[in-house]
Amino acid sequence: MIRKLISRVFSGKKPAANRHEPAVIPVSSHGITRDRISSGSRRTCETLQQHGYKAYVVGGAVRDLLIGAEPKDFDVATDATPEQVRHCFRRSRIIGRRFQIVHVMMGQETIEVTTFRGALDANTKKDEHGRVLHDNVFGTQAEDAARRDFTANALYYDPATEAVLDYHHGVGDLKAKTLRMIGEPRARYREDPVRMLRAVRLAAKLGLQIDPEARKPIRDMADLLENVPPARLFDEMLKLLTSGFSVKCLTQLRDEGLHHGLLPLLDVILEQPMGEKFVMLALANTDDRVRRGKGTSPSFLFATLLWHEVLAHWEKLLAEGQLKIPALYQAMDHVLDVQGEKLAITRRITGDIKELWALQPRFEQRAGKRPYALLEQPRFRAAYDFLVLRAQAGEIDMEIADWWTRFQNVEGDKRGEMLLPEQPGDKKKRRRRKKKPAAGPSASE
């Protein structure tokens, strides 16, 4: 112990408590040369510095470069106020009301420039659970660093010197593959419960271990997520599900007891053997697409996550004697209503999800003109992908999915040969629907 203390004094290292002076890590040590950052963010920093301000590339980009990952975007932090930033760039605009940031347009790039944020104090507005409501005070760079969530996210890269300023030992933590919270984890989760989700997402995406101090309280504090505005949860869930590591994220969410508050029905889904298989297949599919740089659609994702809840409710209504299609619509509305309370799935996405679900029973109809009408649906491709997933998960016969795969691909005149014979009841049903086209997916036929 004494030897440790002496060696620390003589090594010249600052004691851990003094966080105001950052460690300055030279390029010779971290290896990130300025050509590794986007030209837009480099030029933004240069211009701000020419005007006498501090300016750094900050946050996720520096972290990702240090571990050899491709950054999603390059954000800049500065001591210039938003107004001052505005005056440095012709193509820029201030956005946001509560905490203003500036979007600087550089060629094709839009760089987000944020003014250093100040420390929270007694005047900071919080709700009754301690969640910070207004966080809009400017501050020093050291305060800005302390306001960030994880040590690895509090790194500032100066393109002029190519040095990394490290206020909280983030570089060392990254080397040790540790995601460590800045400050006392319980207090930081109370200020903003979304940090629990960020911990899981970043750890899964970056292959880091959440430091035990930050990991332990999550299970106890998971309920605080109930208090987060649904729109914020939706954004965060979307980030998580489209991170390219959603399977890992979801597995870890469950391990940490975090899935309950998010999608209130997700825990139920994952406990049904069929539901779990389906969700995991869908997510693995999405991860694969993201990693290959292909787009993903939020509506498809949420439609898969909630499908087995719809199925369960639909079956219940059918057992009560309701008609097939009206029961499906009622089940869809029910599931989306329950979700909507927790997760603000936007109206546009909700519409797309419903369309995807409502098209599913129509794949069963493989006689007459109906298959042709289904092919013409604008959302046919997504609905077909959904059908294939259902078949792969064992919910429906693979033969149906295979039939549709062939039906799309054969020459037009061969399609007729594939059609199944009309069932005796089919025509009658169609006539009845024509008279009264109000409900059901076939209303548009």
Listed ranges 59-67, 259-267, 332-340, 429-437: which one lies at the site for Mg ion (CB under 5 A): 59-67
Q: Which two tokens stand for residue 212?
A: 């035990």
Cβ proximity to Mg ion: between 60 and 244 the closer is: 60
Task: Tell which one of 78, 153, 286, 360 touches ligand ATP (CB under 6 A).
Answer: 153
Nearest distance from residue 152's CB to ligand ATP, in Å?
8
What is the maximal distance between C-alpha atoms in the chain?
Answer: 93
Task: Tell which one of 194, 224, 328, 343 touches ligand ATP (CB under 6 A).
Answer: 194
- Catalytic: 73? yes
Does 215 bind ligand ATP (CB under 6 A)? Our answer is no
Nearest distance from residue 267's CB to ligand ATP, in Å?
24
Does 60 bind ligand ATP (CB under 6 A)? Our answer is yes
Task: Tell which one of 22, 40, 60, 440 touches Mg ion (CB under 5 A).
Answer: 60
The answer to whether 321 and 285 are in contact (CB under 8 A) is: no
Concatenating the DSSP letter of every residue in 309-354 gives: HHHHHHHHHHHTT--HHHHHHHHHHHHHHHHHHHS---HHHHHHHH
Distance CA 64, CA 73 (A): 10
What contacts 18, CB < 8 A, 6 or more positions away?
none
Interface pattern 304-343 for ligand ATP (x via CB under 6 A)? ----------------------------------------
Nearest distance from residue 135's CB to ligand ATP, in Å?
9
Beta-strand pair 155-158/55-58: antiparallel
Task: Tell which one of 192, 276, 333, 395 touches ligand ATP (CB under 6 A).
Answer: 192
* H helices present in 12-59, as ranges: 27-30, 39-50
Listed ranges 22-30, 94-102, 193-201, 226-234: which one lies at the site for ligand ATP (CB under 6 A): 193-201
**What residues are paired with 76 via a beta bridge?**
57, 113
Active-site pick, 64, 75, 79, 166 = 75
Q: Which two tokens stand for residue 247?
A: 């399977």
Does 217 bind ligand ATP (CB under 6 A)? Our answer is no
Nearest distance from residue 75's CB to Mg ion, in Å?
6
Cβ neighbours around 78 below 10 Å, total: 26
Q: Which two tokens stand for residue 146?
A: 């302390």
Chain residues in the site for ligand ATP (CB under 6 A): 59-60, 72, 75, 148-149, 153, 192, 194-195, 198, 239
| Residues assigned a catalytic role | 73, 75, 149
